[in-house]
Amino acid sequence: MGEFVLEMQNVSKSYYGTQVLKNVSIAVKPGEIHAILGENGAGKSTLMNILFGMSVIHSTGGFEGEVRLGGEAVAIKSPMQAMELGIGMVHQEFMLIPGFSIVENIKLNREILKDNIVSRVFGEKMKGLDHNSMAKDAKAALNTVGLTIDEWARVAGLPVGHMQFVEIAREIDKENIRLLVFDEPTAVLTENEAANLLATMRKLADSGIAILFITHRLDEVMEVADNVTILRDGALVSTLRKQDTSVVRMAELMVGREIETMAREKGSEMGQDSTILSIRDLHVRMPGEEIRGVSLEVKRGEIFGIGGLSGQGKIGIANGIMGLYPATGEVLLNGEKLELNNTKGSLARGLAFVSEDRRGVGLMLDSSIEENIAFTAMQVKNKFVRKYGPFSQVAQGEMRQHALAMIKELDIRCRGPLQATRRLSGGNQQKVCIARALTLDPIVLFVSEPTRGIDVGAKRLVLETLVKLNKEFGMTIVMTSSELAEIRSVCDRIAIISKGQVEGILAPDASDADYGLMMSGDFAKARREGVV
Amino acid sequence: MLEKLKGLVDSFGLPRTIITSFFVFVCLLAVFLGIPFLPLISDMVVRLGMNGIMVLAMVPAILAGIGLNFGLPLGVLCGLIGMLTAIEMNLTGFPSFWMSLVIAIPLAVVCGIGYGWLLNKVKGSEMMVATYVGFSAVSLMNIGWILLPYTNLELKWPIGQGLRTTVNIEGRMKWVLNSWGRIQIGSFHISLGLLLFLAFWCLLVWLFLRSKTGLAMKAVGASRQFAVASGLNVDKYRIIGATLSTVLGAVGIAAYAQSFGFLQLYDAPMFYGFGAVAAVLIGGATVRRANISHVIIGTFLFQGLLVVSLPVANLIMTGGNMAEITRITISNGVILYALTQVSGGQ
C-alpha cells in the first residue's frame, strides 16, 4: 500500500468541447482532511463525479488522467464500484429514505442475514434479517459520530442535523471505508450542528479514514482541514498546508482573476447620486434562494451588481421585487412605495425583469420572436393594440416594425421576426428577453444571470448591450450574476449576498480577498478579528 | 431518401400522414368499385359543417393549456337544453334555431366558468378530470331528462315521465342551415348556410386569438411561468379558455343536430368529446398546439374517411357495422397516439 489513499493525477475533462477541468492533481493520505475549495463552477463537482465514476462522465467521453487508490491505478466505472473500493459520500441533499428507520437506512442493501427454516430449504434468497446485529452495528456507527438517539427511530421527522449524521453513520458502517467525501455538508446545518460535524470529521480522520471536504466556507477549512486544494475555473490554483495559509490568502486565490473592465464613462445623471430604488428589509420566500432582510439603495443611472454563491439568495431579490415569489418588506421606486407581490403593478410602475430562467420564465419557446418581444408591453401597457369598444385586435404592423427595429438594434441573429425562439442560440434568446424588457420602457431593469449557458462570444455581446443601454439611455440596471468576474467588469457597485442578507457592498476594483471573504460569508467575522 | 421521407412525415404529423394515406386509399377503392363519387363529396362537406364547430371547441382549450377538452359533453348538454327549450316554446324554423343558441350560450358560459374553476384546481391532470366531468355531467343529466318540467308531447314519452331518448326535430329546426343557400348541381349539392355558419364561428375564434385577451390566453397555455412573469392572472385565462370551449360545444351540437334531424339525449352525448378530439388531432394539432386549419383539415379527413368507408366496406364485406368500427378504431387510436406524445411536466 502506498503512502496515499487517493491520488488523482493530471485529471482533465471537457464537456462538448468546453474544458471544465485542466490537469488537476490531488493526493490524500490516510487520516488527512483535505479541503477542496472553489466557487460555483470551479470544477469541484466534476472532480467528484470522476472519482465516483458517475455515468455523466462516461457518457460524455470519459476523462484524461489517472486515479490511484492505495497506490494502484483504478478505473472506476460506476458509483457501485466506487463504493466497493471503499469510497463513501456524504451528500449535500440527503440520500435517505424518510419512511425507513435509522437502522434500515444505514443497512440498506447491506443487510445482515440469518438462516431460518425456509432458507435452509430454498436457499440464500429466503434468508431473514438479523435485526439484532444490524441494530448493534448501527448503534456503533451512531456512537462513532456522536449521535445518541434511538436507532429504530424513523428518519422522517428527524432534525436536519441528525439526518446528516445518519448519512455519515451509514458511510462509516461500511467495513472497507477508507475515503469519505463530504460535499458541502454544513450548507444546511445550524452553527452548532456544523461545529459538531467538524468535530466528528476530525474524529473520523483520527481513526485513519481520509476525508475530502468540499466547501466554500473558509473558516471551516481553517478549523478542520490539514491541507487545502483551491480550484478556479477548472484549474488547480494551489495546494497548501493549512499552517501556510490564511483566510484572506485563500479568499484571494479562490476569486482572483484578471478583471477586464469594459470601457465605460459615467453618464451625467450618475453624478446626481439620487436614489431611484430603495429596498428596506426585504424578505423573499424563494425556495433555495431565500432572502432574509435585505436593505439596499440603487442610484439613478448606475449598474448595480448583486453577487454571491448560489443558494445564498442573490436571485431572490429581483424575483421578489417583481412579485414572482412571495415577498414582504418595503420597496420605494422614485420615493413612492411599490406594492409587493403584484407582478402587473411592478411592470406598470416601470420595472422590467430579464429572468435567470431564460427558457422557462423568459420566453415562449414556440412563439415567434415578435410575439415574445411585444407580449408583456401589450398586456401591461396596451402597446401594439387597437381598441374597438370592448374588443381589441393586435396591431400586427406596429408589432412587426418594433420587432424589426429591436432585431436590428440588439443584433439578434435570426431568420426573421416570425422565427420561433426555441430555434435561436442562447445568446440570441437572451437578447430577445432583453428586447422584451426594453419594450416596456423600464425605469429600472433587473437582469438575472444574463450570461448563463451562452457561449463566450455571445456573453460579451450581451454584457456590451447592457453597458450600452446604461451609457446611452441612462437606464438603471440591477444585474445579478454568479460570475463575479462578469459583474466586476460592468457594474459600478456590487452587493454580495450571503445567507440571504447583504454581506457588504464593494467597488468593482476592491481586492480579491474582500470578495472571497464576502462570498464565503466570512467578511464580518474576519473584520471582527482584525484580519482585514 | 428515407431520411427525407421521415422528415416530411415528422413535419406533417404521423396521425395526419396515416389517415391521409388511408383516406386516399379508400377514395381510390370507392372509385374503383364504381361507387358514385359526387354524392360522397357532398356528404363529406355536409359532415364538415355538421361537426366542425364541435372540433373548433378544442382550439381554445388546447391553447389555454387545458389540453384536449374531453369535457365537451358539458357544452353539448347546454346546447341540447337550448334546443329542447326552443321546441318547448313551440318555435319553428330559424327562430327556433336562434332561440336555441340564445338559451344555450349563457347556460354554457355559466357551466364553462364552473368547469374552468374546477380545472384550475387540478392543474396537470386536466384531461383525465375533464373526461370524468363529461361522463358525470351526462349521467347527472340522465336524471335531469326525466325530471325537467318539459310538457311538449314531441319531447316527452307518450306514457310515463321524462323525455324521449331521441327527439325528432322534423318541422322544428331540422335542416335550417342545410337548406339555406343550398346549391344543387346534378348529383352534387352544397349548402352555403351550413358552411357560412361554420366559417362565422371560425372567424370569431380567429379574431379572438388576435385580441389582447386571446394572446394572453395563448401565452398562459404556452408557458405558465412566462405568463406569470408578464403579470397575467393564469387562472382567469384558463377559465376563459374552458368557457369558450364549452360555448363552442353548445353551438356545435346545435349545428350538428339540425343537420342530423334528431336530438339524442341520455347517454348519447357521452362520446361526442372523443370524436372532436380525434378530428383535431388528425388535423395536426397536439395537446399543446392547435389552430383553425387543424380543425378544418382534421374534420374533413376524419368525417370524409367515415363517409367513404361506409359504402366501400358494405361492398367488400356485407354485414357488420364497419363505419362505426372504423370511427371508434380511428378516434381511439389517434387519441392514444397523441397522449403518448405528451412530454411529462411543463
| A347 contacts B230? CB cut-off 8 A | yes
The answer to whether position A1 is within a domain reads: no
User: Is A308's pLDDT higher than 80?
Assistant: yes
CA distances in angstroms from B29 to A182, B35, B135, listed in the order given: 72, 9, 38
Mean pLDDT lowest among A125-129, A278-282, A333-337: A125-129
In which domain, by residue range, is A404 found?
361-440
Verify that A369 and A343 share a domain, yes or no.
no
The answer to whether the Cβ–Cβ distance between B219 and A364 falls below 8 Å is yes
- The residue among B11, B63, B215, B288 with the most chain A CBs within 10 A of its CB, best to mutate, is B215
The rounded distance, in Å, linking the Cα atoms of A490 and B161 is: 81
Shared domain for A235 and A379, answered yes or no, is no
Burial A454-488 (b: 16+ CB within 10 A, else e): beeebbbbbbebbbebbbeeebbbbbbbbbbbbbb
The band of A532, judged by pLDDT with boundaries at 50, 70 and 90, is low
Which residues of chain B neighbour A323 with C-beta distances below 8 Å?
231
Domain of A189: which CATH number? Answer: 3.40.50.300
Answer whether B225 sits within 8 Å of A353, measured CB to CB: no
Instruction: Say if CB A228 and CB A242 are below 8 A apart.
Output: yes
Would A474 be classed as within a structural domain? yes
Between CA A466 and CA A473 the distance in angstroms is 10
* Extended strands (E) in B187-233: 188-191
Highest mean pLDDT among A13-27, A160-174, A364-378, A462-476: A364-378
Question: What are the residues whose beta carbons fall under 8 Å from the beta carbon of A171, sequence distance 6 or more?
Answer: A88, A89, A90, A177, A180
Chain B residues whose beta carbon lies within 8 Å of the beta carbon of residue A376? 229-231
pLDDT tens digits along A493-522: 999 998 899 999 999 888 888 888 888 888
User: Residue A266: its pLDDT value, please?
Assistant: 46
Q: From A399, A415, A440, give the residue that closes a domain.
A: A440
pLDDT of residue A260: 57
**Which of A64-78, A409-423, B8-22, B137-151 is predicted least confidently?**
B8-22
**Do A193 and A292 share a domain, yes or no?**
no
A 10 A CB-CB count for B273 gives 29
By Cβ distance, the residue of A343, A360, A365 closest to B231 is A343
DSSP type of residue A220: H
Confidence at A346, pLDDT banded by 50, 70, 90: very high
Average pLDDT for A242-260 = 77
Residue of A339, A349, A366, A388 to mutate, testing the B interface (most B Cβ within 10 Å of its Cβ): A366
What average pLDDT is seen over chain A?
86
Write down the residue that cell numbers 489513499 correspond to. A5
Residues A240 and A157 in one domain: yes
Distance CA A79, CA A82 (A): 5
Domain end among A440, A466, A492: A440
Picking from B223, B229, B289, the nearest residue to A324 by CB comes out as: B229
pLDDT at A117: 80
State the nearest Cα–Cα gap between A361 and chain B, in angstroms. Answer: 4
Contacts of A437 (CB under 8 A, 6+ apart): A352, A353, A354, A376, A445, A447
Tell whether A423 and A450 lie within a shared domain. no
- What stretches of B230-283 show up as alpha helix (H) in DSSP? 234-260, 272-282
Q: Taken in order A48, A52, A55, A57, is the CA torsion positive or negative?
A: positive
* A264 belongs to a structural domain: no
**Do A339 and A370 fall into the same domain?**
no
Per-residue confidence at A267, pLDDT binned at 50, 70, 90?
Answer: very low
The answer to whether residue A355 sits within a structural domain is no
Q: Does B222 touch chain A (CB under 8 A)?
A: yes
For residues A503 and A373, membership in a common domain is answered with no
Do residue A329 and residue A478 come from a single domain?
Answer: yes
As a whole-number percent, the residues of chain A with pLDDT over 70 amount to: 95
Question: Are A131 and A195 in the same domain?
Answer: yes
Residue A340 shares a structural domain with residue A385 = no
Per-residue confidence (pLDDT) for residue A39, from 0 to 100: 77
Q: Where residue A1 falls among pLDDT bands split at 50, 70, 90?
A: very low
Residue B131 near residue B266 (C-beta atoms within 8 A):
no
Give the full edge-to-edge strand order of the sheet including A501-506.
A351-354, A444-448, A476-480, A303-307, A493-498, A501-506
What is the predicted pLDDT for the residue at A272? 58
Grid coordinates given for A530: 482584525
- At B15-38, the pLDDT tens digits run 788 888 888 988 898 888 888 888
Look-up of cell digits 456503533: A140
CB A360 to CB B228 under 8 A? no
C-alpha distances in angstroms, A493 versus A267, A307, A477, A504, A506?
15, 10, 11, 10, 6
Distance CA A153, CA A138 (A): 12
CA dist B310 and B316 (Å) reads: 10
Cβ neighbour number for residue A73 with a 10 Å cutoff: 10
Number of domains chain A is built from = 3
Question: Chain A contact for B232, CB < 8 A?
Answer: yes
Instruction: Look up the ipTM and state it.
Output: 0.84
- Summarised one tens digit per residue, pLDDT across range B280-297 is 998 888 888 899 999 999
Q: How far is B172 from chain A (nearest CA, A)?
A: 35
Same domain for A140 and A73: yes
- Cβ–Cβ of B222/A322 closer than 8 Å? no
List, for residues B303-346, the tens digit of each pLDDT value.
988 888 888 877 777 666 777 777 788 878 888 887 777 654 33
Is pLDDT at A419 greater than 70 in this prediction? yes
Q: Is the pLDDT of residue A268 over 50?
A: no
pLDDT digits (tens, 9 = 90+) for A170-225: 888 888 888 999 988 877 777 778 888 888 889 889 888 899 998 877 888 888 99
pLDDT tens digits for range B206-217: 999 999 999 999
Tens-digit pLDDT profile for residues B48-83: 999 999 999 999 999 999 999 999 999 999 999 999
Is the alpha carbon torsion for A371, A377, A382, A384 positive or negative? Answer: negative
From A346, which residue of chain B is nearest by alpha-carbon distance? B231
User: Strands A227-232 and A235-241, how do they pair?
Assistant: antiparallel
pLDDT band at A262 (very low <50, low <70, confident <90, very high): low
pLDDT tens digits, residue range B189-228? 889 999 999 999 999 999 999 999 999 999 999 999 999 9
Kindly tell me if the per-residue pLDDT of A270 is higher than 60: no
Do residues A429 and A500 both lie within one domain? no
Band (pLDDT 50/70/90 cuts) for residue A167 is: confident
Interface of B with A in 182-211 (CB under 8 A): 207, 210-211
What Å distances lie between residue A174 and A72, A100, A110, A150, CA to CA? Answer: 21, 19, 9, 20
Give which of B218, B223, B235, B237 to mutate to test A binding, by max A Cβ within 10 Å.
B223
pLDDT digits (tens, 9 = 90+) for B135-180: 999 999 999 999 999 989 889 888 888 899 999 999 889 999 998 8
Taking residues A20-34, what's their average pLDDT? 90
Quick check: A479 and A303 in contact, CB under 8 A?
A: yes
Q: Choosing among A361, A421, A433, which should be mutated to test the B contact, i.e. which has the most B CBs within 10 A?
A: A361
Is residue A268 assigned to a domain?
no
Percent of residues, chain A, with pLDDT higher than 90: 33
